[in-house]
């Protein structure tokens, strides 16, 4: 069995895991989760009791959740390539550190903005407060990343890493929320995000999110539906 990635739409951070899988080029399948359609399929509680994406169904039938864990699992599958640094090496430590920052500080900076967007019961002053808090947090993250990228081509140096794959998913939220002029205020980060957006793997992930039929780099073996998964899991 090939690994199956459960990815969320719209605008899921799981976008980065799709990019990572495409960069690795190893066989995998996808399962689409429409995050705005409620209720979710009851099967998903077995897949991820927190009802979050991404989750990766492994070859041994176990489920692995959280982007950090999934991306480090994918890195371990490619230890013979620059995308998979050996555990214990300086390169692995750098990857772990950058991923930890992105999935915690940078990701959570957007939380007030998503709350302002999603919570219908909020009044306008409450929304404005959340937008202001979120904007300040996102600006701090953008300043940090812009400074890093002023001195290097990729987040970890001269070669792309799975940290860049993850950033391709969450970095696009800056433009989505239209907080500021990214190209003017943080030009190095803007350049990097534009390059990531034009990467074939990111274009593939975007097409997947849009529900298009598209071919990837060779590893993508198609989608799996919840009914098919239900039958397989019940038989296991």
Same domain, 164 and 209: no
Range of the domain at 186: 90-197
Pairwise CA distance, residues 143 & 136, whole Å: 11
For residue 139, what is the domain's CATH number? Answer: 1.20.1050.10
Selection from 156, 146, 9, 1 nearest residue 71 by Cα: 156
- The domain total for the chain is 2
Residue with tokens 């940290």, as numbered in its chain: 163
pLDDT of residue 235: 54
Same domain, 94 and 171: yes
Quick one: average pLDDT of 176-181? 93
Pairwise CA distance, residues 28 & 184, whole Å: 39
Range name among 48-52, 81-85, 203-207, 228-232 with the lowest pLDDT average: 228-232
Question: What is the pTM for the complete model shown?
Answer: 0.95
Selection from 84, 87, 77, 80 nearest residue 2 by Cα: 77
Same domain, 191 and 96: yes
Share of the chain above pLDDT 90, in %: 86
Query: What residue spans of 80-181 are helical by DSSP H?
Result: 90-101, 107-109, 111-118, 124-149, 162-170, 173-177
């Amino acid at each position: 069995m090939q690994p199956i990635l459960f990815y969320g739409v719209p605008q899921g951070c799981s976008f980065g895991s799709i990019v990572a899988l495409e960069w690795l080029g190893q066989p995998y399948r996808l399962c689409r989760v429409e995050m705005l359609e409620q209720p979710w399929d009851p099967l998903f509680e077995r897949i991820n009791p927190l009802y979050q994406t991404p989750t990766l169904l492994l070859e041994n039938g176990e489920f692995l959740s959280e982007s950090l864990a999934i991306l480090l699992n994918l890195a371990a599958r490619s230890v013979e390539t620059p995308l998979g640094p050996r555990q214990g090496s300086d390169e692995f430590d750098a990857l772990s550190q950058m991923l930890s920052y992105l999935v915690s500080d940078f990701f959570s900076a957007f939380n007030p903005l998503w709350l302002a967007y999603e919570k219908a019961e909020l009044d306008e002053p409450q929304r404005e407060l959340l937008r202001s808090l979120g904007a300040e947090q996102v600006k701090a993250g953008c300043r940090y990343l812009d400074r890093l990228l002023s001195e290097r081509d990729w987040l970890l140096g001269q070669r792309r890493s799975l940290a860049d794959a993850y950033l391709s998913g969450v970095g696009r939220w800056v433009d989505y929320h239209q907080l500021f002029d990214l190209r003017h205020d943080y030009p190095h980060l803007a350049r990097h995000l534009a390059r990531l957006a034009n990467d074939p793997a990111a274009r593939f992930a975007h097409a997947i999110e849009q529900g298009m039929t598209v071919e990837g780099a060779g590893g993508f073996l198609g989608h799996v539906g919840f009914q098919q998964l239900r039958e397989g899991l019940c038989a296991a």
